Amino acid sequence: MDNRMMLSAPPMGWNSWNTFFDQINEELVMETADTMVREGLLAAGYQYLIIDDCWATRQRDAKGALTADPVKFPHGIKAMADYVHGKGLKFGLYSCCGTRTCANYPGSFDHEFSDAAQFARWGVDYLKYDNCFRPNTVPSSLLYRRMSMALRSCGRDIVLAACQWGTEDVHQWIRSSGAHTFRSTPDIQDSWRSIASIATSQMEKQAYSGPGCYNDMDMLVVGMYGKGLNPETSVGGCTDEEYQTHFALWAMMGSPLIIGCDIRTMTDKTKEILTNRDLIAINQDPECRGPYRLSVYGNPDAFVLVKSLSNGEYAIGFFNFSDVAARVSLNFWDMGLSVSSECALRFHDCISHEELGVQREIFAPTVAAHGCQVYRCRIVEDHP
């Protein structure tokens, strides 16, 4: 059996954990699937509907198989996958490489091949694979390799989303394990502090993400506004400005875009942020090059990210992590555009979707506290 799975861009979807914790059930899954289609999230690229931890019974059945919690999912997991597929979406499920999951349900340790076969029979397209309760004599790399092998032989194309949290230098070896994405940080929280800390921690690891295996900076908290049933995630909430910056960072840094809010009640602003076609196009750019970071003279909390796009354009993001508005300046010289080139940059604003025209030598927008501005820029001839 072959598995020809190749992810040509970071996966996009929705996951139950950030908002719903263990309060998941059939109704939530079906309503979320309906909403993904009705509200245009599928059309914007959000394909995967992923059920996180707490879907199973506390113990395996008499034959050693994982079974769905009969109260939460009375019709079983296959019925959920069928419903989700019927909407044109793909279906994701969760397990763990240790003996138990992080919320203490059965893990797949030493059941990898039979669990993978079970997931294939149910119609799973994406497996989030966590890192709790791992026997401490067994390195994480062996267990991700093992599940990758099990999925590659299960007869169905299943994305392996390694939820490894960035330990054991995961970025160094995860691509070779066969996994398609790798969580590189501890769990995100619905706060500006958590967003800024995750983004900062991955700035120097951009070269490790790319086609085939993407650095997963964790699920989005956009639109949670401090609500949700997960006490670990819901810690106060963010402003729309901060959610916008969060989304722009994840887009520019090539992370999977996995929505974590309750989309059934999302605000218009949340929907606008999540379906921004210009930022999604930057995230899904075919070459998936990581951006480089330029610092801003005199302001350690401001920086510019520059990402080369496959059509010759550049995505340029101006970020201000400080608590007051600041000018964030980019000297085009620092991107490689010399004065003698007789070239300039034409700017398209990816948040307002307006054309800004041609800018020469330097561009220095004022950026709100915790804010950003992102442009798509084309090199144009500019003779004096």
Site residues (vs ligand GLA, CB under 6 A)? 17, 52-53, 101-103, 130, 163, 187
- Residue 53 or 125 having the CB closest to ligand GLA: 53
The amino acid sitting at 237 is: G
Q: Smallest distance, Å, CB 157 to ligand GLA?
A: 22
Q: Smallest distance, Å, CB 341 to ligand GLA?
A: 46
- Residue 11 or 365 having the CB closest to ligand GLA: 11
* Bridge pairing between strands 343-349 and 366-367: unpaired
262 catalytically annotated: no
Which candidate, 238, 250, 261, places its Cα nearest to that of 198?
Answer: 250
User: How far apart (Å, rounded) are the C-alpha atoms in residues 236 and 19?
Assistant: 13
Q: Smallest distance, Å, CB 58 to ligand GLA?
A: 14
Among 69, 82, 157, 187, the one annotated catalytic: 187
Question: What φ, ψ does residue 310 adopt, rounded to 5°?
Answer: -70, -20
User: How far apart (Å, rounded) are the C-alpha atoms in residues 43 and 270?
Assistant: 16
- Residue 189 or 245 having the CB closest to ligand GLA: 189
Q: Smallest distance, Å, CB 89 to ligand GLA?
A: 20
**Quick one: how far is CA 129 from the chain centroid?**
15
Among 52, 125, 130, 216, the one annotated catalytic: 130
Cβ atoms of 318 and 352 closer than 8 Å: no
130 catalytically annotated: yes
User: How far apart (Å, rounded) are the C-alpha atoms in residues 90 and 162?
Assistant: 18
CA dihedral 35, 40, 46, 47 (to 10 degrees): 70
Cβ atoms of 258 and 219 closer than 8 Å: yes
Q: Smallest distance, Å, CB 224 to ligand GLA?
A: 14
- Residue 15 or 118 having the CB closest to ligand GLA: 15
- Residue 93 or 263 having the CB closest to ligand GLA: 93
Residues recognised as catalytic: 130, 187
